[in-house]
Amino acid sequence: MPTFDSDRAAKLHRELHSHLPSDPALRVKTLESLAVERGLVAPESIDAWVEAYSEHIGPKRGARVVARSWLDPAFRERLLDNAAEAIKDFGFQGAATGHLKAIENTDDQHHVIVCTLCSCYPFAILGMSPAWYKSSEYRARTVREPRAVLKEFGAVIPENVAVRVWDSTAELRYIVIPQRPSGTEGWDEEQLASIVTRNSMIGTERDLNTEAL
Amino acid sequence: MKSHLIYGKVILFQPDDPFSPPEPVFDEAWQAQALALANSMVQSGHLTNTDWAEALGAALKVAERDNAPDTLDTYYGAVLNALETLLENYAGISAESRQQRRADWEAAYRNTPHGSPVEL
């Protein structure tokens, strides 16, 4: 027979209203507070990263880099030679990105990037990676059957165009420089940047759409 | 990109819809905080980029071996497992100290009146 237990009722009431965070949220909170307490990380650096990658750092950075490489041959040469140095022109360098290599699509060569180990990505110029980039299917199949994967993204690569897959690592990451589409003669850097998509800089898109404006 | 439900299974790999509106970068705040913690550990010199990539890669392999669904939940679960392993191996933060701290947080959430900041 149920009995009224005021302590138990009060406890139940507190629990119902406690809004206890989810299990993963509690795991992160636990790790973060222990790491901060031991002086391993500063809470401000965690907050700054979250704000930067939630609000500010995204693929528009990479688009600007690509647009400049189309307009400025000297910049293009520096970018292909040492991309990590060249993007400092924009203040885009990021320690987390490490070394960066820019690889340029041509009429007979298409490039696509992947991280077969985990999810290494040029965060400092493309922001957070898309969900599919982290999937085990993309990581496994892009190496095995790149043309089939690209086709699923809508990029049908002609047989006479070679496809090269670049496997990112913690120390070396890549950005694809897509080809400048025809019909963009006379455009300025901002106009050009507006048609450069994130996927084209990963390589899962090949032909940029000039009507995207 | 949204994950898709096929035969009741969540499928992550699906090229994105170019006409869909921009989506938030993170589905949950804790996902951002977990990656930020890893990044801060690298920035402060307690881990290298390679330490992090290898630990995350190993955690993802375990998930694949266990036939975990290919979803963002699985990915971020691997991120958490990798962080716990690294903090244990490099900073001596044991499973016991995690359990204790988590119990402290749960108690703090239960005992803090709704609307007030939860602190230890």
User: DSSP string of A152-172?
Assistant: HTT----TTSEEEEEE--SSE
Closest Cα in chain A, distance from residue B27 (Å):
10
Residue B120 belongs to a domain: no
Closest Cα in chain B, distance from residue A44 (Å):
10
pLDDT at B28 over 90: yes
Chain A touched by B111 (CB under 8 Å): yes
List all residues 6 or more positions away from B28 whose beta carbon is below 8 Å from its beta carbon. A22, A24, A25, B76
Going by C-alpha positions, the residue among A85, A135, A22 that lies closest to residue B31 is A22
pLDDT at A8 over 80: no
Residue B27 belongs to a domain: yes
Question: The tokens 């990044």 sit on which residue?
Answer: B39
- Helix ranges, A38-174 (H): 43-51, 60-71, 73-81, 83-86, 123-126, 131-134, 136-144, 146-152
Domain residue limits at B80:
4-111
Residue B35 buriedness (CB in 10 A; 0-12 / 13-18 / 19+): buried
What number is the ipTM of this complex? Answer: 0.86
What's the token pair of residue B82? 């990798």
Query: How many other β-carbons are positioned within 10 Å of the β-carbon of residue A91?
Result: 7
pLDDT band at B1 (very low <50, low <70, confident <90, very high): very low
First-residue to last-residue Cα distance in chain A:
71
Chain A touched by B110 (CB under 8 Å): yes
- Strands of chain B (E only): list them: 4-6, 9-11
What's the token pair of residue A30? 């636990």
First-residue to last-residue Cα distance in chain B:
37
Active site residue A118: yes
Rounded to the nearest angstrom, the gap between the alpha carbon of residue B15 and the centroid of all alpha carbons in its chain is 23
Q: How far is the C-alpha of B74 from the C-alpha of B18, rounded, in Å?
A: 25
Rounded to the nearest angstrom, the gap between the alpha carbon of residue A92 and the centroid of all alpha carbons in its chain is 14
Residue B118 belongs to a domain: no
Query: How many other β-carbons are positioned within 10 Å of the β-carbon of residue B110?
Result: 15
Chain A touched by B20 (CB under 8 Å): no
- Tell me the mean pLDDT in the region A106-131: 95
Instruction: Pick the range with the lowest mean pLDDT from A4-8, A13-17, A19-23, A151-155.
Output: A13-17
Residue B116 belongs to a domain: no
- Tell me the mean pLDDT in the region B63-91: 96
What residue spans define the domains of chain A?
Answer: 21-56, 58-212
The alpha carbon dihedral of A96, A101, A105, A111 has a sign of: negative
Residue B37 belongs to a domain: yes
Active site residue A115: yes
Residue B119 belongs to a domain: no
Residue B117 belongs to a domain: no
Look at chain B and report how many structural domains it folds into. 1
The alpha carbon dihedral of A62, A99, A130, B18 has a sign of: positive
pLDDT at A124 over 50: yes
- Tell me the mean pLDDT in the region A99-107: 96
pLDDT at site A96 = 52
What is the four-CA torsion angle of B26, B109, A30, A26, rounded to 10 degrees? Answer: -40
pLDDT at A89 over 50: yes
Top-confidence residue, B109 or A19: B109
pLDDT at B9 over 50: no
Mean pLDDT of chain B: 86
What class is the A58-212 domain? Answer: alpha beta
Which of A29, A128, A135 is nearest residue B70 as measured by Cβ atoms?
A: A135
pLDDT at A126 over 70: yes
pTM: 0.86
Q: How far is the C-alpha of B97 from the C-alpha of A151, rounded, in Å?
A: 49
- pLDDT, one tens digit per residue, over A40-49 is 999 999 999 9
pLDDT band at B6 (very low <50, low <70, confident <90, very high): very low
pLDDT at site A148 = 96
pLDDT band at B112 (very low <50, low <70, confident <90, very high): confident
Rounded to the nearest angstrom, the gap between the alpha carbon of residue A141 and the centroid of all alpha carbons in its chain is 19
